[in-house]
Structure 1
Amino acid sequence: MNSIEKIVRPNILALQAYSSAREEFTGSEGIFLDANENPFGELNRYPDPLQKQLKQRLSVIKGVAPQNIFTGNGSDEAIDLCFRIFCEPGKDKALTFTPTYGMYEVSAAINNTELIKVPLDNNFQVDKNKALLALEDESIKLVFICSPNNPTGNCLDTAKFIIQNFKGIVVVDEAYADFCSTTLVNKLEQYPNLIVLQTLSKAWGLAAARVGIAYASPFIISLFNKVKPPYNISKLNYTAAIKALENTDNYEEQKKLLLEERQKLSEALSQIPIIRKVYPSQANFLLVEVSDANSVYQNLIQQGIIIRNRNKEVKNCIRISIGTPQENKALLNALQNITA
């Protein structure tokens, strides 16, 4: 038994996965009378349960073998699967660093797993000593690191340190990695306990399609495929994902514009009286400290502009997604109309 197998819940190791009709026969020609489908229509057939064409395209773009790729219903499915595969409900624990993406806490609660939360330091970085102290708890099986982090926007520089000093599973959530130059996707062979999450919702513009990706060792990917629902990505979303990944020119053009707008917006926001601080960002949003986050949030809504109020996570801070040049200009005009 390898070291990762020892972390997996015994019932998951013993689980016999459901075998769907489209796994037992994988051809595309013939009279299909095997899956109790309606013989009429354009969307009457079940989709590929393992999304092979999508994974092949991702393999080319990311330089990762298809057997190292899981695709699911948003990154949230992969997050949930991590708890279901590695954490015994009511017994095991997970760890994350706050403030961070809220679904780690929600998924932990759904799976009856205690989530230990270690606060980030004043620079929104992981305190190594506090992290090591927390990891002395042997019941911790999962660590979640969001980098670039949401809602702070910065990359966490201690992901490798955590991986090297923890025997459990380290999940690095790189939902916003397309907007920076940092990724651990190329470290899978070096770190067998690493899972990297990415998504097509952000830079690829497919939030409505709900396509998330997990990159990990073939063994971990086999566990994901064993536990997931048989047809976890619809044909409509599957087709949309492949189409988007084939148009890399559009992806690069939109990403370039968003990065340019991020810089312009950051500089412009710094000149507005009610803005106290604009935090550096490597994502497609900015965390901004204002004089009164609750008041600014409500005022912007009245002007028809919706941002996120992150006051509960980071005092008097709002989170602003990078929009089109026209949307960003409207935001700036609206903020100029707000007095302290």
Structure 2
Amino acid sequence: MFDLNKLIRPNIRDLKPYSSARSEYSGSASVFLDANENSFGSPLTKWYNRYPDPLQWDLKKKIAAIKNVPAEGMLLGNGSDECIDLLLRAFCEPAVDEIVICPPTYGMYEVYARINNVRVTEVPLLPDFQLNLEGIEDALTPATRIIWICSPNNPTGNSIDREAIEAILNNFDGLVVVDEAYINYSRQRSFLSELKDYPNLVVLQTFSKAWGLAALRLGITYASTDIIDVLNKIKPPYNINEATQELALKALDKLDEVNLMIRETVQERDVLVRGLSEVPGVERVFPTDANFVLVRIREATRVYEYLRDRGIIVRNRSNVLLCDDCLRITVGTPQQDAQLLTALKEFNHV
């Protein structure tokens, strides 16, 4: 049985969180003399002299209406990276506890674990880039606190089998974090609808990909209110600035535009896949549910350098487990992809 109280670090459980000026009252007010702000305004706009809402309620309520989840069941982070860091700090005791990751996968799970002095156990994906359930089961110990699953996975692009994720949720008493940064491009249904059924499930999403707002650094953690309450205890008081909140609220009013960009990206992804399949030297274009494509190509490092020298930057993943001689290529505009394909074909004539 999943018991959140046994999972929380004792010092976090007993922590008295910092109480920010804006969190100590409710209702409306017209005179703010509590937070040592500049009462005479700002050179940018009169509102930027005030600290932002520490819990971003207007933004959360708007997201909740779109995602059909409770506003109380989410934490907004300074990018998904802050969400990852907070989960590790809340639930993993340094030098004692451990996590499980399934490489090749997003690198920041391991980076933040190392920063927090949390042991990392690797259970590599199978050759088809799916979970090794038997390997994960064998790797679990009483000190395992979190299993990280990226779906669609980065850098492979494929969605992880839903039944495999559910099997882990049903048989692991720690947290299962499903990172859905690329879910908008996927045929797979989001795990948000499963939050009510799995108290140990945490879902990460982001405004950086389909929403086209990478510069804002805005990530979202969805989980039970009990888990979110723990994360709210340790997050910085004003981790999401006012400008980010304002711009995200405006973006949420343009859902039709975002959905159009998603459709255009998926259509262009198909064009790119077909084009890459016709490039001499390309050995495999892996199936993808993301806004990027993993390609196995002969002399991948030389190809990467050739493209770089021509001002075309892709990601060389040749040094990543199971990704020998692979490049990860983001879906560009039709003009950008045409330029890429032309350069790849020219490489073979150099």
Q: CA deviation at 1:26?
A: 3.9
Look up the equivalent residue of 2:11 and give its one-letter code: N
Q: Provide Cα deviations, 1:230-285, integer angstroms capped at 9, x if missing partner.
A: 00001111111111111101101100100000011001100010211100000000
Match in the other structure for 1:150: 154
Is 2:327 the counterpart of 1:318?
Answer: yes
2:339 is aligned, of 327, 330, 335, to 330
Contact 2:203-2:222 at 8 Å conserved across structures: yes
Larger mean Cα displacement after TM superposition, 20-29 or 183-192: 20-29
Q: Provide Cα deviations, 1:207-231, integer angstroms capped at 9, x if missing partner.
A: 0000000000000000111110000
1:216 is aligned, of 223, 229, 232, to 223
Contact 1:68-1:216 at 8 Å conserved across structures: yes
Look up the equivalent residue of 1:161 and give its one-letter code: A
CA distance in 2, matches of 1:49, 1:2: 30
Q: CA deviation at 1:182?
A: 2.3
Q: Provide Cα deviations, 1:278-336, integer angstroms capped at 9, x if missing partner.
A: 00000000000010111011000111100000011110000000111111111111111
Aligned pair in 2 of structure 1 residues 139, 129: CA closer, same or farther (>3 Å)? same
CA distance in 2, matches of 1:29, 1:306: 51
CA distance in 2, matches of 1:97, 1:270: 28
Contact 2:79-2:217 at 8 Å conserved across structures: yes
CA distance in 2, matches of 1:63, 1:2: 25
Q: CA deviation at 1:138?
A: 1.2
Contact 1:274-1:338 at 8 Å conserved across structures: no
CA distance in 1, matches of 2:159, 2:2: 31
Identical residues among aligned pairs (%): 48
Query: What's the TM-score once normalised by structure 1's chain length?
Result: 0.98
Q: Provide Cα deviations, 1:101-159, integer angstroms capped at 9, x if missing partner.
A: 00011000000001101111110001111111112x11111110000000000011121
CA distance in 2, matches of 1:26, 1:273: 64
Gaps of 5+ in 2: none
Match in the other structure for 1:280: 287
Look up the equivalent residue of 2:332 and give its one-letter code: G
Look up the equivalent residue of 1:250 and give its one-letter code: E
CA distance in 1, matches of 2:27, 2:318: 53
Contact 2:152-2:159 at 8 Å conserved across structures: yes
Map residues 137-176 of structure 1 onto 2, 5 A cutoff.
Answer: 137-157=141-161, 158-176=164-182
**Matched residue of 1:98: which SS?**
coil
CA distance in 1, matches of 2:211, 2:344: 29
Q: CA deviation at 1:2?
A: 7.3
Q: CA deviation at 1:162?
A: 1.1
Larger mean Cα displacement after TM superposition, 19-28 or 155-164: 19-28
Match in the other structure for 1:56: 61
CA distance in 2, matches of 1:324, 1:224: 38
Q: Provide Cα deviations, 1:191-222, integer angstroms capped at 9, x if missing partner.
A: 00010000000000000000000000000000
CA distance in 1, matches of 2:72, 2:29: 25
Aligned pair in 2 of structure 1 residues 253, 149: CA closer, same or farther (>3 Å)? same
CA distance in 1, matches of 2:291, 2:115: 29
1:81 is aligned, of 81, 86, 100, to 86
Map residues 261-276 of structure 1 onto 2, 5 A cutoff.
Answer: 261-276=268-283
Match in the other structure for 1:104: 109
CA distance in 2, matches of 1:237, 1:339: 45
Report the aligned-residue RMSD.
Answer: 1.2
Look up the equivalent residue of 2:83 and give its one-letter code: A
Q: CA deviation at 1:17?
A: 0.8
CA distance in 2, matches of 1:318, 1:233: 34
Hey, which bits of structure 1, 4+ residues long, moved more than 2 A?
25-29
Match in the other structure for 1:242: 249
**Matched residue of 1:201: which SS?**
coil
CA distance in 1, matches of 2:254, 2:26: 27
